[in-house]
Amino acid sequence: MTIRYLKEGQDAQALAAADAKVRSTVETILADIGQRGDMAVRELSRTFDQWDPADFRLSDDQIQAAVRSLSPRELEDIRFAQAQIRKFAQAQLDSMQEIEIETVPGVRLGHKHIPVQAVGCYVPGGKYPMIASAHMSVLTAKVAGVPRVAATAPTYKGQPHPAIVAAMHLAGADEIYTLGGVQAVGALALGTESIRPVDMLVGPGNMFVAEAKRQLYGRVGIDLFAGPTETLVIADDSADAEMCAVDLLGQAEHGPTSPSVLLTTSEPLARGTLAAIEEQLQRLPTAEVARASWAAHGAVIVCDTLEEMLAKADELAYEHVQVLTRDPDYFLQHMRNYGALFLGPRTNVAYGDKVIGTNHTLPTNRNARYTGGLWVGKFLKTCTYQRVLTDEASALIGEYCSRLCHMEQFAGHGEQANLRVRRYGTRAEVPWYQPVAALD
DSSP 366-417: TGGGT-----GGGGEEEEEEEEE-SHHHHHHHHHHHHHHHHHTT-HHHHHHH
415 carries a ligand binding annotation:
no
177 carries a ligand binding annotation:
no
319 classed as catalytic: yes
320 classed as catalytic: yes
Q: In the CATH scheme, what architecture does the domain 18-223 have? A: 3-Layer(aba) Sandwich (3.40)
Q: Tell me the backbone φ, ψ of residue 299, rounded to 5 degrees.
A: -150, 150
- Among residues 70, 82, 167, 66, the alpha carbon closest in space to that of 121 is found at 167
What is the C-alpha separation between 357 and 350, in angstroms, rounded?
A: 11
pTM for the model: 0.93
DSSP annotation of 437 reads P
122 carries a ligand binding annotation:
yes
Buried b (16+ CB within 10 A) or exposed e, 416-427: ebbebbbebbee
Cβ contact 233:202 at 8 Å: no
- Among residues 192, 198, 184, the alpha carbon closest in space to that of 147 is found at 198
What is the C-alpha separation between 81 and 58, in angstroms, rounded?
A: 24
Cβ contact 78:163 at 8 Å: yes
Provide the 10 A C-beta neighbour count for residue 43: 15
161 carries a ligand binding annotation:
no
Give the H/E segment covering residue 30.
helix 12-36
Q: What pLDDT is recorded for position 288?
A: 96
| Active-site residue, from 253, 319, 360, 399 | 319
Q: What pLDDT is recorded for position 17?
A: 65
CATH 3.40.50.1980 segments of the chain: 18-223, 228-373
Cβ contact 175:93 at 8 Å: no
What is the C-alpha separation between 212 and 25, in angstroms, rounded?
A: 10
Q: What pLDDT is recorded for position 11?
A: 64
- Among residues 438, 3, 34, 2, the alpha carbon closest in space to that of 263 is found at 3
- Distant-in-sequence, close-in-space partners of 435: CB < 8 Å, separation ≥ 6: 402, 403, 405, 406, 414
Q: What pLDDT is recorded for position 8?
A: 87
Cβ contact 300:7 at 8 Å: yes
Q: Tell me the backbone φ, ψ of residue 285, rounded to 5 degrees.
A: -60, -30
Q: What pLDDT is recorded for position 14?
A: 61
| Active-site residue, from 135, 161, 169, 320 | 320
Angle, in degrees to the nearest 10, between helices 287-297 and 267-281: 150
- Distant-in-sequence, close-in-space partners of 70: CB < 8 Å, separation ≥ 6: 78, 162, 163, 166
Pick the CATH number of 228-373 from 3.40.50.300, 3.40.50.1980, 3.30.479.30, 3.50.40.10: 3.40.50.1980
183 carries a ligand binding annotation:
yes
Query: Where do the DSSP E strands lie in 207-310?
Result: 221-222, 231-235, 260-264, 298-302
Handedness of CA 59, 64, 65, 70 (dihedral sign): positive
Give the H/E segment covering residue 20.
helix 12-36
Handedness of CA 193, 194, 200, 205 (dihedral sign): negative
Q: What pLDDT is recorded for position 20?
A: 85
Cα distances (Å, whole numbers) of residue 178 to 35, 129, 331, 361: 22, 13, 41, 21
413 carries a ligand binding annotation:
yes
Q: Label residue 50 left, alpha or beta by phi (over 0 means left) and psi (-120 to 50 means alpha).
A: left
Provide the 10 A C-beta neighbour count for residue 345: 17
DSSP annotation of 70 reads S
pLDDT in tens, the chain (440 residues): 578 898 888 765 666 666 788 999 999 999 999 999 999 999 999 999 999 999 999 999 999 999 999 999 999 999 999 999 999 999 999 999 999 999 999 999 999 999 999 999 999 987 789 999 999 999 999 999 999 999 999 999 999 999 999 999 999 999 999 999 999 999 999 999 999 999 999 999 888 999 999 999 999 999 998 888 999 999 999 999 999 999 999 999 998 999 999 999 999 999 999 999 999 999 999 999 999 999 999 999 999 999 999 999 999 999 999 999 999 999 999 999 999 999 999 999 999 999 999 999 999 999 999 999 999 999 999 999 999 999 999 999 999 999 999 999 999 999 999 999 999 999 999 999 999 999 87
Q: Pseudo-torsion of CA 418, 420, 425, 427, nearest 10°?
A: 30
- Distant-in-sequence, close-in-space partners of 182: CB < 8 Å, separation ≥ 6: 26, 29, 30, 33, 44, 208, 209, 211, 212
175 carries a ligand binding annotation:
no
Question: 165: helix, coil or strand?
Answer: helix
Q: What pLDDT is recorded for position 354?
A: 97
251 carries a ligand binding annotation:
yes
135 carries a ligand binding annotation:
no
Cβ contact 286:254 at 8 Å: no
Buried b (16+ CB within 10 A) or exposed e, 205-244: bbbbbbbbbbbbeeebbbbbebbbbbbbbbbbeebbbebb
Q: What pLDDT is recorded for position 9?
A: 81
408 carries a ligand binding annotation:
yes
Contacts 24+ apart (CB under 8 A), 216-220: 216/30, 216/185, 216/186, 216/189, 216/190, 219/189, 219/190, 220/120, 220/189
